Structure 1
Amino acid sequence: MDQELRLRISKWLSDWGVNSTPSDDVSTSLLVVVSLVLAIIAYLFVRRGVVRAMNIVIHRSKVSWDDIFMRHKVLEKFSYVVPALVMNLLIPLALKEHQLISSLVDRLLSVWIVVMLVRAIYSALDAVNEIADVNLVSRRLPIKSFVQLFKLFLFFVAIIISISVLANQSPVYFLSGLGVATGLVMLVFRDTILGFVAGIQLAANRMVSTGDWIQMDKYGANGSVVEVSLTTVKVQNWDNTLTMIPAYALVSDAFKNWRGMSESGGRRIKRAVSIDIHSIHFLSEEEQVKLSKINCLKEYFSSKREEISLFNQGVEDADMPVNSRHLTNIGTFRAYLIEYVTRHPLIHNDMTLLVRQLAPTSEGVPIEVYVFTTDIRWNNYEDIQGDIFDHIFAILPEFGLKVFQGPTGSDIRSLKGEVKS
């Protein structure tokens, strides 16, 4: 086919009065110029005609993924292959009698074709990665890791093919030498290999995805995952700093992923208030009458009074608190808190909801609120939590309770003064 094309070109030049004998330097130069002109014409036809027409069709289409390919100029980069193909076909024919130059040009043009193809495929892979991000596929699979790995594979293939073309040797000849260089490859690309294996594990087990909130104190990471690449995971912390974590570290080390909280629709409040032990006492009749007017405690007092009265009927010397059952202010306070958070419009009743008394410490008796908010957004969550505990601190005096506070310097001095007096 090359010979036939060459003969046609030679005939065309002869018709125009040009001596197309390859030994003629003028004719050879003219053939080279004609080849370059034809390559430029082919490029302009593809770039200004075919590619522009296809871009118009893409722009008018209803789907959005093809717009991403157009934005990455995939077709434009593939169009650079056309002039290289034309020159690779024609110029060696023009330089056939100059074997050394023809062979060198042929090899260089072949390498150019490989480079242009790889460059265009890289652009297409970038477009695929962006499409995966837009369609949220990257939240389930580490698409960027696979894209980077495929780019790395193409890079090595292009290097081997280019070297084999320039050396005029079969690619198998160079591939056979990779076994010797395996140790060096493992050393140089250790993080890449570990990162790829870790990426597969992260994807298979859905351990971390783009958009997840993760916390890894070892690396100072506490924020949202913005990128999962072949070797690293980029985390944007809540103070807007960026932390780069090796991908394999997420497999080998422990970290916390808050995705479950986000997907469940509830965010936990787990906070305690320490009650001063000296403020705990049995409720008097007056206090019971006062507290029974609280809407959240009306049903509680009704059931508890009947229960306690029935229990104390058979108790001897029931007037002694140690012999009979009585309501305490801290127990009534816990009952109030349970009813209060149950009625709260921003607290999940379908999730764990409890108010419990923890073991007493030197700082008093902790009463812990363990509930889940219906709004998981950080600022709204903090507002809900703050409002609940604002109410708790404000309502404590109504039950005759006090929050434990460690004595300050002035408190200690006043106590010393009382002891001396």
Structure 2
Amino acid sequence: MNIQEGLVDLICFFEEFFVAHGMSATFAQYLNLLINLVVLTLIIFGINYMIKHFIIETFKLFTNKTKTTFDDFLIKSNFPRYIGRFLPLFVIYELFPLIFSEFPDVLKIFYRLVDIYIIILIVWICRSMLRSTRNYLNTRTEFNDKPLESFSQIIMIFIWIIGFMFIFSELTDRSVIGFIYTLGAASAVILLIFKDTILGLVASIQVSVNDIVRIGDWITFETYGADGTVTEINLATVRVQNWDNTYTTIPTYSLISDSFQNWRGMQESPGRRIKRSVFIKQNSVKFLSHDDIEKLKKIHLIAPYLENRQSEIDKFNESNNIDKSLLINGRNQTNLGIFRKYADSYLQEHSAVHKEMYLMVRHLAPTPNGIPLEILCFSRDKRWENYEYISADIFDHLIAAIPYFDLKLFEAPSGDDIRSFLGEKSES
């Protein structure tokens, strides 16, 4: 007698026992079925217990001895547990047909349910492998700025689609090709229902392929009030941690449909741009006399420039017999021009300013608020707090230096200024 015949006899033991003791054949059959199901359930729980306390623990022991962390992530994603479920499934697949041999309709449903469960189990195993791979790659520095979450979600969507195709095929007894044809016919409805998901899928691919945004990038997205570091990129959303430690969630599709500012170029460049202006009162700009020039020569940053420049101007005026009884005649220097040269020399001497990048001090078009004198340069240190310190240090000095050139900053009058003016007028 082989093993299968022995199992059949064992499964039918209680039915024969009950019939032999006077129980009706039908009732004995159902009671025997109930007992066999209870026994099968106990066997399954026993196998699960064995898997949990033997196979999984053995796998953990193995991973503790390996140097790589990938197997540790496999444990965290329940990979050994999913693999272990095939053993009780095999037992059920072998014993269930023997228990329900007299119930062919139930067997048909059973085989269908088992096949569906196997499909889902395979999808879970793929998901576990995918999560483990993603988490492992997140520990590698070369993948820190890659949208691995988006990639894993895209792959997982395709895996679930394939899984649903096979489940549909199992439930309807139709081939997977037939399901694809049905899917094509219903594509308009599917596109309408899953519009956001499809847009997110397309956007994730474009963001990744075109390298538009990476994790760790500083972006400014005024439409959504986002200004900070990208912490997560997934299929549907991009998460940004703002500088005030709040979080803003941006739809992934908006990264390719709307305009935003990515500061990565600045972060990867040798320096960070400083571009600010001081506004000079126009009526404080004047020609300089020889006495004024001699006074400004005491400023060591521009003393050599003034010496050479004034010498050239004097030679020109003398060779052309210019009447210098009026300063406006001939060539002259202005206090604003000399201050502009001073600002340029100061930036050239500043240790925090990058000398190999753009460095410029220029006039802009006059405005009702005065003449803008724009400082354009780059700081060597790109860290935000140090960058602000460097910018403040430069403009603190330049603003304090302006009076030495008999220039005045434009400033809108305050209430105290108006009261002081009216008081002086009333006294006079």
Q: Quickly name the TM-score band, shorter chain normalised.
A: 0.7 to 0.9
For residue 270 of structure 1, report the CA deviation from its aligned partner: 0.6
1:157 to 162, 186, 190: 162
For residue 126 of structure 1, report the CA deviation from its aligned partner: 2.1
- TM-aligned CA distance change 1:209 to 1:187, over 3 Å: same
The one-letter amino acid of 2:354's match is: H
The one-letter amino acid of 2:132's match is: A
1:384 to 366, 390, 398: 390
The answer to whether the Cα contact below 8 Å between 1:315 and 1:323 also exists between their aligned partners in 2 is no
1:411 maps onto 2:417 in alignment: yes
- Describe the SS at the equivalent of 1:370: strand
For residue 348 of structure 1, report the CA deviation from its aligned partner: 1.0
Deviations 1:119-163 (A, max 9, x none): 232232222222333335656653322221222233333334334
- TM-aligned CA distance change 1:49 to 1:299, over 3 Å: farther
Q: Distance in 2 between matches of 1:407 and 1:62?
A: 71
The answer to whether the Cα contact below 8 Å between 1:354 and 1:369 also exists between their aligned partners in 2 is yes
- Describe the SS at the equivalent of 1:235: strand
- TM-aligned CA distance change 1:7 to 1:94, over 3 Å: farther
- TM-aligned CA distance change 1:86 to 1:175, over 3 Å: farther
1:281-320 alignment runs, 5 A limit:
281-319=286-324, 320=326
- Equivalence for 1:343: 349
- Describe the SS at the equivalent of 1:405: coil
Deviations 1:259-305 (A, max 9, x none): 10011142111100001122222334444334323332233223323
- Equivalence for 1:323: 329
The one-letter amino acid of 1:242's match is: Y
- Equivalence for 1:252: 257
Structure 2: runs of 5 or more not aligned:
20-29
- Describe the SS at the equivalent of 1:214: strand
- Equivalence for 1:369: 375
Query: How many pairs align?
Result: 415
- TM-aligned CA distance change 1:85 to 1:102, over 3 Å: same
2:400 to 389, 394, 418: 394
2:6 to 1, 11, 21: 11
Q: Normalized against structure 2, the TM-score is what?
A: 0.86
- Describe the SS at the equivalent of 1:269: strand
1:278 maps onto 2:283 in alignment: yes
- TM-aligned CA distance change 1:412 to 1:172, over 3 Å: same
Which shows bigger deviation, 380-389 or 322-331?
A: 322-331
The one-letter amino acid of 1:376's match is: K
- TM-aligned CA distance change 1:31 to 1:307, over 3 Å: same
1:209 maps onto 2:214 in alignment: yes
1:344-359 alignment runs, 5 A limit:
344-359=350-365
- Equivalence for 1:114: 119
- Equivalence for 1:70: 75
Q: Distance in 1 between matches of 2:209 and 2:315?
A: 61
- TM-aligned CA distance change 1:409 to 1:148, over 3 Å: same
- TM-aligned CA distance change 1:142 to 1:15, over 3 Å: closer
1:195 maps onto 2:200 in alignment: yes
Deviations 1:7-65 (A, max 9, x none): 514326759995899x9967666665665455445444544334333322322322233
For residue 359 of structure 1, report the CA deviation from its aligned partner: 1.3
Which shows bigger deviation, 306-315 or 29-38?
A: 29-38
- Equivalence for 1:3: none
For residue 251 of structure 1, report the CA deviation from its aligned partner: 1.1
1:58-137 alignment runs, 5 A limit:
58-136=63-141
Deviations 1:175-208 (A, max 9, x none): 3321222111101111111111122222222111
Which shows bigger deviation, 281-290 or 378-387?
A: 281-290
Q: Distance in 2 between matches of 1:310 and 1:78?
A: 95
Q: Normalized against structure 1, the TM-score is what?
A: 0.87
- TM-aligned CA distance change 1:136 to 1:183, over 3 Å: farther
The answer to whether the Cα contact below 8 Å between 2:8 and 2:98 also exists between their aligned partners in 1 is no
Q: Distance in 2 between matches of 1:140 and 1:412?
A: 56
Q: Distance in 2 between matches of 1:214 and 1:386?
A: 24
The answer to whether the Cα contact below 8 Å between 1:296 and 1:339 also exists between their aligned partners in 2 is yes
Structure 1: runs of 5 or more not aligned:
1-5
- Describe the SS at the equivalent of 1:308: helix
The one-letter amino acid of 1:118's match is: V
- TM-aligned CA distance change 1:415 to 1:179, over 3 Å: same
For residue 344 of structure 1, report the CA deviation from its aligned partner: 1.3
